[in-house]
Amino acid sequence: MSGAIHFAITHSAPGGLREIWNDVAAGLAARGHPVSRFVLYPAGDARQRADAEAEGWHHVVPQRATGLLAMPRLFRALVRYLKAERPAAVVTAMPFANVIMPLAVRVAGTDTRVYASHHSPSDTHNPVLARLDAMTGQMECVAAVISVSKAVDASLAAKPSRYRNKCVVIRNALPGEVEQTIDTLSGPAAPPKVAGRIVALGRLSYQKNYPMLLRAMAGVEAATLDIVGAGEDEPALRQLATELGVSNRVRFLGQMKRGEALAHAATAQVFVQVSRYEGHSLALIEAARLGLPLVVSDVPEQIEGVTDAGGELCGIVVPLEDDRTLAQVLVRLLADPSEQEAWSERARQLSLSNSNRAMVDAYETLLVSQSGGC
């Protein structure tokens, strides 16, 4: 696809980043722009790789790059890919992809413009990659550095001025068809709510801070928790649930297709996301449009995520690692239908702040209007 806009991530594990690039690519394709998507290497099992390829993702190398010899092979394969495809632009996500792409474009000798994007605060990245990012982000072929929220952009404040001058903020949003699906799920034909059901959506990883939520569940005896997602922390989380005596009220539902996950979330009474850090969470945007009361952690990205355009807080914010306060909030919400409805309405108002059209407009303006390369 010569001259296309390519979206790239480091690996193909399921999650928000893959969904975001799928959404933006689909939006641009609908407007007549040629797009493609690729990952540097596969992650997880063969099924995860097959799922990514079924969505249209190409893997630059067939296996995860580990060891000293694997990295040069990966770099050479990436250079060959760029020479063969000659993309007009590559939009990257994940720290390693952000760093390696400008270098590969330079070696490939193409006119490709690189747009590095940050979906979590810089201080959560590998320190070595963060330092390298400060250097590669200044390269001539890097046309812009995108952050998905003002809080993430603020985490880049210490970068060199040549880097900072390229920074822009483009907030995440849902694709039109997902918005329509959610509107159906929250309309007259909405599935019935399950009394006491709490839902959490997201990868089972350190970032999402599920141990705090499980500890809180020990103090919310009338509730059940459904966790939709998969990840490396699942065995430890299952063990913790057993130790806390809540395993009979906590279900680990694994990875679901997006429509299935949304349909299940629609049956809950409360959405909880007590992440240690975020960027601009798609799960939070989805939950807001579903009209679920939102309970989030007290970190800058989350506070921004539940604040509407008028500056009103549209979700309940609890201190990080304070599972006792979280339990109290959940008990109160589940016991008071009027408070549930009040926070539900605020969540719906918040969802109006996130427009798919505005997001695609911003990417289109940024990616199509610029020219030049390394």
Is 77 strand, coil or helix? helix
For residues 201, 202, 204, 205, the Cα torsion angle rounded to the nearest 10 degrees is -140
| pLDDT range class, residue 366, cuts 50, 70, 90 | very high
Percent of the chain with pLDDT over 90: 84
Closest by CA to 3, choosing from 81, 86, 80, is 86
- Whether 329 and 186 share a structural domain: yes
- Whether 193 and 106 share a structural domain: no
Percent of the chain with pLDDT over 70: 98
CA distance 98 to 104: 11
CATH of the domain at 257: 3.40.50.2000
- Whether 198 and 134 share a structural domain: no
Q: Taking residues 225-243, report their average pLDDT.
A: 97
| pLDDT range class, residue 374, cuts 50, 70, 90 | low
CB atoms within 10 A of CB 194: 14
- Whether 57 and 139 share a structural domain: yes
- Whether 33 and 167 share a structural domain: yes
> Is the pLDDT confidence value at 243 over 90?
yes
Quote the domain boundaries for residue 152: 5-173+356-369
What integer pLDDT is reported at residue 343 of this predicted model? 98
- Whether 25 and 84 share a structural domain: yes
Please tell me the total count of domains within the chain: 2
**Burial class for 22, CB neighbours closer than 10 Å (0-12, 13-18, 19+):** middle
* More confident position, 359 or 370: 359
Question: What predicted TM-score, i.e. pTM, was given to this entire model?
Answer: 0.89
What integer pLDDT is reported at residue 155 of this predicted model? 97
Q: 209-238 burial, b if ≥16 CB within 10 A, otherwise e? A: bbbbbbbbbebbeebbbbbbbbbebbeebe
Residue 374 domain flag: no
- Whether 114 and 131 share a structural domain: yes
- Whether 63 and 210 share a structural domain: no
- Whether 211 and 316 share a structural domain: yes
* More confident position, 371 or 34: 34
Beta bridge partners of 35: 5
Please answer whether residues 101 and 90 qualify as being in contact, where contact means their C-beta atoms are separated by less than 8 angstroms: yes
* More confident position, 68 or 105: 105
pLDDT by residue (tens digit) across 274-310? 999 999 999 999 999 999 999 999 999 999 999 998 9
Kind and range of the H or E run holding 146: strand 142-147
- Whether 197 and 340 share a structural domain: yes
Residue 269 domain flag: yes
Mean pLDDT of the chain: 94
Q: Which of 68-72, 85-89, 176-180, 275-279 has the lowest mean pLDDT?
A: 68-72
What integer pLDDT is reported at residue 1 of this predicted model? 42
- Whether 144 and 181 share a structural domain: no
The beta strands (E) that lie in 156-260 are given as 167-169, 197-201, 224-228, 250-254
Closest by CA to 208, choosing from 238, 233, 244, is 233
Residues in the chain: 374
> Is the pLDDT confidence value at 119 over 80?
yes
Rg of the chain over all Cα atoms, to the nearest angstrom: 21
- Whether 140 and 161 share a structural domain: yes
Q: How, if at all, do strands 89-93 and 57-59 pair?
A: unpaired
CA quadruple 58, 59, 62, 63: dihedral sign: negative
Encoded tokens for 101: 């792409």
Residue 162 domain flag: yes
What integer pLDDT is reported at residue 126 of this predicted model? 94
CA distance 293 to 290: 9
Please answer whether residues 167 and 141 qualify as being in contact, where contact means their C-beta atoms are separated by less than 8 angstroms: no
